[in-house]
Amino acid sequence: MFSFAITARAGRARTGVFETPHGPVETPLFMPVGTLGSVKGISPQELREIGSQIVLGNTYHLLLRPGPERVRALGGLHRFAAYDGPWLTDSGGFQVMSLGHMRRISEEGVVFQSHINGDLIELSPEKSVAAQEALGADIIMAFDECPPYPAAPEYLEESIERTLRWLERCLEAKTRPDQALFAIAQGGVDLKLRRLSAQATVSFDTPGFAIGGLAVGEPKEAMYPAVELSTRLLPEGKPRYLMGVGHPEDLVASVALGVDMFDCVYPTRTGRFGYALVPEGRLNLKLTRHLDDPTPIDPECDCYACRHFSRAYLAHLVRADEMLGLRMLSLHNLRYLHRLMEQARAAIREGCYGEFAREFARRRFGGEVPGWFRRALEEGGHWA
Amino acid sequence: MFSFAITARAGRARTGVFETPHGPVETPLFMPVGTLGSVKGISPQELREIGSQIVLGNTYHLLLRPGPERVRALGGLHRFAAYDGPWLTDSGGFQVMSLGHMRRISEEGVVFQSHINGDLIELSPEKSVAAQEALGADIIMAFDECPPYPAAPEYLEESIERTLRWLERCLEAKTRPDQALFAIAQGGVDLKLRRLSAQATVSFDTPGFAIGGLAVGEPKEAMYPAVELSTRLLPEGKPRYLMGVGHPEDLVASVALGVDMFDCVYPTRTGRFGYALVPEGRLNLKLTRHLDDPTPIDPECDCYACRHFSRAYLAHLVRADEMLGLRMLSLHNLRYLHRLMEQARAAIREGCYGEFAREFARRRFGGEVPGWFRRALEEGGHWA
């Protein structure tokens, strides 16, 4: 039910098809984040139109509102949110750390205060799996701890071992055969611990594996060796999901190293802040100079915003805090990342991922390609 | 260029076609308000899909941001906002009164402070027409004063006379033959003054006439005699536009009396506040009881929200202040009013407007049809 077939390779990059009960998805792919069961401002029809393949829901948020049992009674996320393509839910672990107040971590799980109303809530491997079974996503995530950066090696090690015990409990608690549980390898940017975590995690042989605990504030120079090591240690035949990663340059560099899946609030959040992703980086539409510009955000883009609206109009809407502006920038930014992954898949199929990534870098970075990006391409076999 | 052909009548209600340079529109109709050049949260494609025929832009708001000359340079509202159907702009007069600070009215015009940045701005008949010519709408409105309710008869009279002198100056200032300027009859709820204003206004023979100064806080019992008198005095062969009116029951009662056009922020604003229009009134989606309801807002409605989402999901989105919820309620509420006017047009064509309006009242008011509604139907010849 959850087979993964790699259809082409270029260096360490690969493209493939992952089967889910709600249809196949092509990797590498970017997943829009539908925090509370909606990708902010975007309709299910628009998600289809811009090429979204999997939508991510946050168990932490859905646990607080509207509650997993309510979602189950209304047909699970697919019917509740009227998006019948594949869904993925995270375990809640990450947001307990970032949003919960007064959290207390023990062997049993985590107790925290809701950021909405202060209620004391317990989350454990069993409770997370039960919530994710009620929500009904196609892919569910193991309940893990995502330690902050920096973290002391002793704490990291302790956390990794607890996360492994929690993984075992998640797999024991899981009952639905129509959901794939992905394990998450941790280890921060400590390569010894990352190796230890990846190797132990892989032994559980889940249908996919995630790389967690990165992009939490560490420099790129520390993050990429951890990505590189992880994709070497995670099995070839399973999808690899780099959690919470989201900037275009990170997608291109990580695909070079063999990552298959990504998610991030970046495209929608930066859109709501008035920024539009373009090959050269991002446009700040709050700047006065855009107010008279009749050109679209990106003449190469095929999204509704780029086909209909000028930078001038969108800049006006952003400045006036008009909902349509925020909606259109979110739509465009998601389409930008989906198109980037479509281009990556095509380049892998045509055996020219290196050319694609170097052309991306030329436009994104101009003359100065950063060392971490170049090294990722080199280690991926894309920089001859 | 701006012909109005009445195609059917039922009592005093009529349905017809008004020609504009951007296509014909069928009356009676409701115009969504695109305050700053966008109907909050709604795309031009969606406006087409839900049956919007004319979009209204607010000259006051567009004067402050992004500025009429900027809109002109970007192709006028039609191209700037990527909606190439008919547009109407108001004159700015109404919002100067409701939003401007420290306004000072003189024979010349109005000086006010921008509510955005405190800049001192002058608006006069000539400046309003120039701004509206730059914005480029198909229908532009005379610069008038909309006195508050209640207002002293002496003040009302003085204001009516000034508004008539301003109308004359607007018509002299107007240069574009591809724009129709509608005059506005005032007079508050004082029937003597309303008659005086309507008769004097009609003599200017503009391609359409508006009824201004109503729905500003007066009771319905005072408003409807003024509507009834106005539609009797305004010419049969020109469209009649009741400004700022917007509640479903007001549309049905006013069409009965021969009104052809309406505009109001009500459907989008009440949507953003979490309310959905239904035949029985409106649903407050913030109420807990909707959180488990799998039915759509209105099973009779064909809008995207009603075809895809449950009350439960929309109630969840509203409660979590999710943009998609506000967007979907705005979309549904606009569709509700457009559908109501489609049904009104069909009923007039079929000669059964009275049945339509009474059936509307039965669902909207239950057993207790208010006197003002019944009298409007009686005076319109729809309550035998």
What SS3 state is found at B27? strand
Q: Say how many CB pairs under 8 Å bridge A and B.
A: 111
Strands (E), chain B: 4-10, 13-20, 23-27, 29-31, 55-57, 87-89, 101-105, 110-113, 120-123, 139-141, 180-185, 209-211, 240-242, 261-263, 275-278, 281-284
Inter-chain touch B312–A66, beta carbons under 8 Å: yes
Q: Looking at the partner chain, which of B66, B73, B292 has a beta carbon nearest the beta carbon of A316? A: B66
Report the SS3 class of residue A185.
strand
Whole-structure pTM value? 0.98
B113 annotated to bind ligand: no
Higher pLDDT, B117 or A344: A344
Put simply, the chain B residues between 42 and 71 with a CB less than 8 A from any chain A CB are 42-45, 65-66, 70
Q: Are A211 and A234 in contact (CB under 8 A)?
A: yes
Q: Is A249 exposed, middle or buried (0-12, 13-18, 19+ CB in 10 A)?
A: buried
pLDDT confidence bin for B283, thresholds 50/70/90:
very high
**How far apart, in Å, do the first and last CA atoms of chain B sit?**
38
Reported confidence tier of residue B383, pLDDT bands at 50, 70, 90: confident
Catalytic residue among A138, A190, A250, A263: A263
Residue-level pLDDT at A103: 85
On whether any CB of chain A is under 8 Å from the CB of B308, the answer is yes
Q: Could you report the per-residue pLDDT of B144-162, keeping only the tens digit for each? A: 999 989 999 999 999 999 9
pLDDT given for residue B1 in this prediction? 87
The C-alpha atoms of residue A344 and residue A9 are separated, in whole angstroms, by 11
Residue with the two structure tokens 């750390």: A97
Which of A84, A90, A205, A250 is the catalytic position? A90
Tell me the ipTM for this assembly.
Answer: 0.97
Where residue B95 falls among pLDDT bands split at 50, 70, 90?
confident
Q: Does A317 touch chain B (CB under 8 A)?
A: yes
Assigned CATH for A3-264: 3.20.20.105
Model confidence at B102, in pLDDT bands (50, 70, 90)?
Answer: confident
- Known binding residue B92? Answer is yes
Q: Which residues of chain A lie closer than 8 angstroms to B285, CB-CB?
A: none
B332 annotated to bind ligand? yes
Per-residue CA distances from B304 to B21, B50, B301, B329, B339 (Å): 30, 9, 9, 10, 14
On whether the CB atoms of residues B28 and B15 are closer than 8 A, the answer is yes
What are the chain A neighbours of B74 within 8 Å (beta carbons)? 292, 294, 310, 312-313
**B263 belongs to the catalytic site:** yes
**Measured in whole angstroms, how far is the alpha carbon of residue B251 from the centre of its chain?**
10
Q: Is the pLDDT of residue B178 over 80?
A: yes
pLDDT digits (tens, 9 = 90+) for A90-134: 999 888 878 878 789 999 999 999 888 989 999 999 999 999 999
pLDDT value, residue B124: 96
Single-letter code of the amino acid located at A322:
E
Bridge partners of A5, per DSSP, are A17
Amino acid B197 reads S
Q: Quick check: A232 contacting B, CB < 8 Å? A: no
Cis amide prior to B225 (ω within 30 degrees):
no
The model's pLDDT over B328-369, given as tens digits with 9 standing for 90+, comes to 999 999 999 999 999 999 999 999 999 999 999 999 999 899
Q: Search chain A and give the residue with CA nearest B272.
A: A323
* Residues of chain A contacting B308 with CB distance shorter than 8 Å: 43-45, 82
Q: How many angstroms separate the CA of residue B82 from the nearest CA in chain A?
A: 6
CB contact under 8 A, A292 and B41: no
pLDDT of residue A102: 76
A91 is in an annotated binding site: yes
- Read off the pLDDT band of B93 (50, 70, 90): confident
Domain ranges in chain A? 3-264, 270-351
Q: Could you say which of A42, A82, A309 has the minimum Cβ distance to residue B309? A: A82
| Residue A19 confidence (pLDDT) | 98
Q: Quote the CA–CA distance of A156 and A158 in Å, as a whole number.
A: 6
Residue B179 pLDDT > 90: yes
Residue A201 tokens read as 């995690």
Q: Is the pLDDT of residue B129 over 80?
A: yes
Measured distance CA(B74)–CA(B82) in Å, rounded: 11
Annotated active-site residue A263? The verdict is yes
Q: How far is CA A233 from the centre of its chain?
A: 20
Question: What is the distance between the alpha carbons of residues B194 and B246, in angstroms, rounded to a whole number?
Answer: 21
What is the chain B residue with the closest CA to A305?
B43
Dist CA A352 CA A376 (whole Å): 16
pLDDT of residue A95: 86
Decide: B351 and B285 in contact? Cβ < 8 Å: no
**Residue B97: pLDDT band by 50, 70, 90 thresholds?**
confident
Nearest to B38 among A44, A81, A324 (CB): A324
B2 phi/psi in degrees, rounded to 5: -120, 50
Q: How many angstroms separate the CA atoms of B379 and B376, rounded?
A: 5
Contact B74 A308 (CB under 8 A): no
**Band (A205; pLDDT cuts 50, 70, 90):** very high
Give the pLDDT score at B332.
Answer: 98
* Residue of A88, A32, A100 whose CA lies nearest to A60: A100
